[in-house]
Structure 1
Amino acid sequence: MMRKAQVNGSIEAAPRAMIVLPRREGYASDQAGAIALLASRLAQPEDIVVGMRISGPVLPGGQFEAVPEPGLPWRWAREGVRYRIGVQQLIKKFRPDLVEVHNRPAMAHALARSGLPVSLFLHNDPQGMKGARTPAQREALIRKVRVVTVSRWLRKRYLEDVYTGDVDVLPNSLDLGALPPRPKAKAPIVLFVGRVVADKGADRFVQAWGHVRKQVPNWRAVMVGADRFRFNAPRTSFVDRVEREAEEHGITIAGYQMHQQVLDIMAMAAIVVVPSRWPEPFGLTALEAMASGAAVISSGSGGLPEVVGDAALTAAVDAPDELEEALLSLMQDSHKRANYAARGLERAQLFDTHPAIRRLQALRLKMVNRAGTPATP
């Protein structure tokens, strides 16, 4: 029986997709990064999610299949080549209606030879990716695959100096109904969540708290994160230095936490700081913080302004005193803090998963119909 889905108010056949994760992206609750979490939210029950073999509990969403190791003559090829060959074997096995590749332009270009419609979902700047660094590469790619970005900022980066083709924008999303309940009164906690790397501004968060903490003795600061999205993340000299300085300033260091635990902490925190130096392709942490009812302080890099709009305080991360002043303005003014929290909650409604799923289904149908490929019965 053909699977049905509601698209633009009508019931239509829903294509079955094979969702290809980046090779290092774990599809398990204790290994998931932003890409895996988004794929989990959007994947339909009949979709096939493929990635490297995992040991932890599989994320919900779709049917997970580990990419097999190819035999001869590919056994001694590079890891990326072996991964691509394994994905191609799964395409032949499951015969999906279309293929969705996340964040790997070269993989999407190679899989387009399968004859199936292929879309490339970009979560990071394509100009730093293999197979999309130059305008010529991006122009050649867009002739073969449908390109989808998670922000308008990424769309602009893809189309820079590209003269043909178009790019769809499908922002990241959250299942707002599945978030932990918020307490009636938020705890006086200032929270940093993210990778403990310079690009994310972890060191600047520590420095700013060190400058303001004596003026707000009833508040405390918490840092959640590690160098990578996993429990066994490597210890780096940067992590060692930041954590040492954080301890000196009385910051609670929680280390890596699974996504559900992060959301539980966000539900309690009154303020969440997103001090990214690098241009954030989207800014999922800021969205999660707003949806959790926290007042948000954000840098203005990359796609972050598209996410927070006017619902967050913006501070230039490395500008003298800006982050400190933003922190104090929220911690010392409960009305201002409540106002930003309320605006953030309203803003987060724009990014609910359920309308995002409908937009994705409409895009899938358009691709399949354009290719003349009937949905799998």
Structure 2
Amino acid sequence: MRVLTVLPPRELYAEGHAGAISLLVSRVALCDDRVIGRAVSGVPLPGGKFVPLKRGIWPLPQRLSYALSCVRAARHFRPDLIEVHNRPDLAMALSRVAPVRLILHNDPRSMRGAKTAKERSRLAAKVLVCAVSRWVATCFAEGSDIPPRVEIQPNCVDLSVLPAERPRKKQVLFAGRVVADKGVDAFVSAWASLRHQYPDWTAVIMGADRFGPDSPETPFLTRLRPQAAQADVLMTGYRSHPDVLEAMTEAAIVVVPSRWPEPFGMTALEAMACGAAVIVSPFGALPDVVGDAALLAAPDASGALEAALGQLMDNPALRAELGRKGRERAALFSLEAARARLVALRQAAIAFSRGLAAP
């Protein structure tokens, strides 16, 4: 099957610059898949074959220019199936060229072409809609008299590339984008109130505003740095994905205190796969992803994050139990399971385009 994968325009399919969607696409892509997106500098990610889009000769708005480039690439490649990530309007445009499968990684209700229930129903009638979690699927169905068809395609982790298990440091790690939505300031505040009670523990923030070494210094980061320094929290800045996995394998505890309803929660899944004891917020898809393998704590609920951290730092047996449960939970999201699901959904998308029942 000739498959064309279309990245969102801001995603970079390159080592050291890739966002979450690019990393996931590369992880599950089959060797003959063609991946298109913005031209990148450096080494493309290994999954599939990446072909940078050619820019048109006319000065057009960026969104329109990107869409036209995708249509031209699709007509030239003549795929059996087009997979569009996180762009409902682009999925509709490309559905005129070939069967389309739309993969939603975020709440679609703020996306162009899917903001209203009517738009989402029209979209679901044209393309096979897939969501990375039940939470995203629920968002897509909101307001519809007849629930539209939405398939679940969870994110995955490649267990074979995880670092080898090693002794744990008495360390609490936050890894991810350093923005208010991720609750990193709540973590700093919680640590400030706990650090004197646990002098043999350390706290680390690994990440930046964006993915990549050239991530900007934002007003939020400027405000957070002195607060983190005063609380004895080390801020490392951006680190590569392999470095993050190494850190998760060494840290005793990983926190994911997101205020934003996470549509999946890849950081939590990777932390569980690495055997850390995990604390997540009770919002979005996070509770569904972690099951009973993590503690829940709302970042802005008075004392909640402090209590969860204290509970784990005081109890090595509980940390070990959650680490074991986390590995077992993460195995449900293996790369092998994800690729089997990918193949099944591709076949379902072809059948859908022909008006047939899914196999």
TM-score (norm 1): 0.92
Q: What residue in structure 2 maps to residue 66 of structure 1?
A: 52
Q: Decide whether the 8 Å contact of 1:16 with 1:97 is kept in 2.
A: yes
Q: Decide whether the 8 Å contact of 1:101 with 1:107 is kept in 2.
A: yes
Please say if 1:274 is aligned against 2:234: no
Q: What residue in structure 1 maps to residue 11 of structure 2?
A: 25
Q: Decide whether the 8 Å contact of 2:7 with 2:35 is kept in 1.
A: yes
Give the Cα separation in 1 of the matches to 2:107 and 2:342: 21
Alignment of 1:268-347 (within 5 A): 268-347=250-329
Which of residues 153, 161, 178 in structure 2 aligns to 1:170?
153
Q: What residue in structure 1 maps to residue 2 of structure 2?
A: 16
Give the Cα separation in 2 of the matches to 1:57 and 1:219: 38
More RCO (CA 8 Å, sep 6+): 1
- Runs of at least 4 residues of structure 1 off by over 6 A? none
| Per-residue Cα deviation, 1:220-278 (whole angstroms, up to 9, x for no partner) | 00101111112111111111111221111111111111111111111111100000001
Give the Cα separation in 2 of the matches to 1:200 and 1:102: 22
C-alpha deviation, 1:359, in angstroms: 1.0
Which of residues 101, 109, 125 in structure 2 aligns to 1:127?
109
Structure 1 segments unaligned to the other structure (5+ residues): 1-14
Please say if 1:187 is aligned against 2:173: no
Which of residues 20, 34, 38 in structure 2 aligns to 1:34?
20
- Letter in structure 2 aligned against 1:43: A
Give the Cα separation in 1 of the matches to 2:324 and 2:157: 17
Q: Decide whether the 8 Å contact of 1:26 with 1:32 is kept in 2.
A: yes
Cα gap change, 1:371/1:322 in structure 2, threshold over 3 Å: closer, same or farther?
A: closer
Give the Cα separation in 1 of the matches to 2:304 and 2:222: 26
- Letter in structure 2 aligned against 1:139: S
Segment of structure 1 superposing worse, 85-94 or 290-299: 85-94
C-alpha deviation, 1:317, in angstroms: 1.1
Q: What residue in structure 1 maps to residue 247 of structure 2?
A: 265
Please say if 1:354 is aligned against 2:311: no
Give the Cα separation in 2 of the matches to 1:18 and 1:260: 27
Task: Report the 3-state secondary structure (helix = DSSP H, G, I; strand = E; otherwise coil) of the residue aligned with 2:125.
Answer: helix
| Per-residue Cα deviation, 1:34-82 (whole angstroms, up to 9, x for no partner) | 10111011110100011100002111110001011012xxx12111111
Q: What residue in structure 2 maps to residue 4 of structure 1?
A: none
- Letter in structure 2 aligned against 1:317: P
Structure 2 segments unaligned to the other structure (5+ residues): none
C-alpha deviation, 1:113, in angstroms: 1.2
Q: Decide whether the 8 Å contact of 1:21 with 1:36 is kept in 2.
A: yes
- Letter in structure 2 aligned against 1:179: L
Task: Report the 3-state secondary structure (helix = DSSP H, G, I; strand = E; otherwise coil) of the residue aligned with 1:328.
Answer: helix
Task: Report the 3-state secondary structure (helix = DSSP H, G, I; strand = E; otherwise coil) of the residue aligned with 1:351.
Answer: coil
TM-score (norm 2): 0.97
Cα gap change, 1:93/1:161 in structure 2, threshold over 3 Å: closer, same or farther?
A: same
C-alpha deviation, 1:372, in angstroms: 5.2
CA RMSD in angstroms comes to 1.2
- Letter in structure 1 aligned against 2:205: M
- Letter in structure 2 aligned against 1:264: E
Q: Decide whether the 8 Å contact of 1:29 with 1:259 is kept in 2.
A: no
Q: Decide whether the 8 Å contact of 2:128 with 2:352 is kept in 1.
A: no
Give the Cα separation in 2 of the matches to 1:16 and 1:361: 12
- Letter in structure 2 aligned against 1:69: R
C-alpha deviation, 1:89, in angstroms: 1.4
Identity %: 49
C-alpha deviation, 1:216, in angstroms: 0.7
Please say if 1:98 is aligned against 2:78: no
Q: What residue in structure 1 maps to residue 94 of structure 2?
A: 111
Give the Cα separation in 2 of the matches to 1:371 and 1:167: 15
Q: What residue in structure 2 maps to residue 250 of structure 1?
A: 232
C-alpha deviation, 1:288, in angstroms: 0.4
Task: Report the 3-state secondary structure (helix = DSSP H, G, I; strand = E; otherwise coil) of the residue aligned with 2:95.
Answer: helix
